[in-house]
């Protein structure tokens, strides 16, 4: 082998291993929480549907976001392994090129449209801004183009039987990992609701917090020509009723918020419209919060264990409540059907799926500190937790501190 060919071989090996490790690393981080990628994919689908890009197809695809997430994560890890061992490199080099072009399109869209702040390239554990993700994908695309160009010079590291076995094992392990965390919870929780965090502290803006600035744009329609024209709030033709009529109002962000608290939208209310968030996150003792994002989608295969937890908490004098994005009629029916005998409160659906990745799931708080989180498959046994409860705890809800829910209630907390 000539010195030139040897240098090229070494260079291609370095690029191949680097890109392969990057794909595996990226895939494993997302495999820790495939629901997170599914929610991010759903965000793209919802934006495109609103903008009129084949809305029927986008809405249909949104319904299968989790399936797409699992498939993409699985392929990303398999592709990374294939790169490193050179498995069927001609085929995988083109497949990886297509996947990277797709990633570059997504990050480019997020970067230039400004409608998606984070692309979820490395999940919630390593957050990259849209411009950072886009630059990363451009560099990655250049490296993969080199590999595609020199694909004939790359040979498989092992025999076909060994290489195929490695790929099958990779497929099985990748799928097992994802289905495990979907049934239980992520191995590593990287969100603001993780065990060890204090929810009230995570919700409280710091001294360096600056609110976002918005500008109102009012659209009027010319009665004679049908022309739609935008006006700012200080220059609207509201008196010229012969020529103009009001059509629409849009609030656009002029300047984004700075140094926002990690938790911005955790608002719990009762079905009478009262905000009871502070009662829960500032309660001085233990309190269990059962997250049931939507009761008609709740997994009830282990509901007996949840019912036992509710009964044990009531005997021990430990408050336990359920929060859901479903309405009061739906939660009442669910409550009666499964004989939970638990009080339901309201929460935004996005908050529910962010704070608890399974539906249902249980969170244990103590003075606002997250002491534990369990999925529907792992409901805790109160006796085994051995909580240090000295005497009867105070009532969870005191009427004097109940406040009406307002649009600013999150910032006020």
- Give the predicted TM-score (pTM) of the model: 0.79
- Dist. CA 260–CA 345, nearest whole Å: 26
Q: Is 226 exposed, middle or buried (0-12, 13-18, 19+ CB in 10 A)?
A: exposed
Sign of CA dihedral 320, 324, 330, 334: negative
Q: How many CB atoms lie within 10 A of CB 207?
A: 5
Domain boundaries, the chain: 3-183, 213-255, 274-412
Residues 6+ apart with CB under 8 A from 44: 106, 109, 116
- Dist. CA 410–CA 97, nearest whole Å: 44
Q: Is 370 exposed, middle or buried (0-12, 13-18, 19+ CB in 10 A)?
A: buried
Vertex 99 angle, CA 96 and 100, to 5° = 85
Residue 403's pLDDT is what?
A: 53
Q: How many CB atoms lie within 10 A of CB 74?
A: 19
What would the two tokens of residue 326 be? 């479903």
State the 10-residue block means of pLDDT for the chain, 413 residues long.
78 91 93 91 86 86 92 94 91 89 86 73 77 88 91 85 94 96 94 94 84 78 85 76 81 72 91 92 93 95 95 92 95 95 94 94 95 96 85 65 47 41
- Dist. CA 164–CA 156, nearest whole Å: 11
What distances in angstroms separate CA 374 from CA 50, 89, 390, one per listed residue? 35, 42, 24
Closest by alpha carbon to 288, among 196, 396, 400? 396
Q: What CATH number belongs to 274-412?
A: 3.40.30.10
Residue 404's pLDDT is what?
A: 54
> How does pLDDT run across 303-320, given as a tens digit for each residue?
999 999 999 999 988 999
Q: How many CB atoms lie within 10 A of CB 232?
A: 10
Residue 68's pLDDT is what?
A: 93
């Amino acid at each position: 082998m000539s010195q030139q060919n040897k240098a090229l071989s070494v260079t291609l090996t370095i690029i191949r291993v680097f890109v392969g490790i990057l794909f595996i690393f990226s895939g494993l981080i997302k495999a820790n929480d495939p629901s997170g990628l599914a929610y991010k994919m759903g965000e793209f689908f919802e934006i495109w549907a609103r903008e009129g890009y084949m809305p029927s197809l986008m809405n249909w695809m949104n319904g299968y976001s989790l399936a797409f997430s699992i498939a993409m994560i699985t392929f990303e890890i398999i592709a990374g392994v294939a790169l490193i061992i050179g498995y069927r490199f001609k085929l995988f080099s083109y497949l990886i090129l297509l996947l990277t072009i797709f990633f570059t399109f997504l990050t480019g869209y997020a970067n230039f449209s400004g409608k998606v702040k984070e692309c979820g390239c490395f999940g919630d554990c390593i957050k990259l801004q849209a411009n950072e993700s886009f630059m990363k994908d451009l560099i990655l695309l250049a490296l993969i183009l080199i590999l595609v160009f020199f694909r004939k010079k790359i040979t498989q590291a092992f025999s076909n039987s060994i290489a195929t076995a490695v790929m099958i094992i990779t497929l099985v392990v990748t799928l097992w990992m994802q289905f495990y965390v979907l049934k239980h919870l992520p191995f590593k929780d990287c969100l603001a609701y993780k065990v060890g965090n204090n929810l009230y502290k995570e919700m409280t803006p710091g001294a360096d917090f600056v609110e976002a600035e918005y500008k109102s744009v009012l659209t009027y329609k010319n009665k004679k020509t049908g022309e739609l024209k935008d006006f700012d709030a200080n220059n609207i033709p509201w008196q010229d009723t012969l020529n103009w009529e009001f059509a629409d109002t849009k609030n656009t962000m002029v300047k984004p918020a700075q140094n926002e608290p990690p938790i911005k939208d955790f608002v719990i209310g009762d079905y009478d419209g009262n905000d009871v968030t502070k009662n829960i996150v500032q309660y001085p003792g233990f309190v269990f919060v059962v997250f049931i994002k939507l009761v008609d989608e709740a997994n009830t295969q282990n509901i007996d264990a949840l019912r036992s937890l509710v009964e044990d908490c009531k005997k021990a004098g430990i408050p336990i409540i359920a929060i859901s994005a479903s309405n009061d009629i739906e939660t009442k029916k669910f409550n009666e059907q499964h004989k939970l005998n638990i009080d339901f409160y309201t929460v935004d659906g996005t908050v529910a799926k962010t704070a608890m990745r399974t539906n249902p799931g249980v969170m244990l708080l103590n003075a606002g500190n997250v002491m534990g989180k369990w999925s529907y498959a792992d409901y805790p046994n109160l006796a085994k937790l051995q909580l240090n409860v000295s005497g009867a705890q105070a009532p969870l809800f005191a009427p004097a501190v109940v406040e009406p829910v307002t649009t600013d209630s999150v910032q006020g907390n």
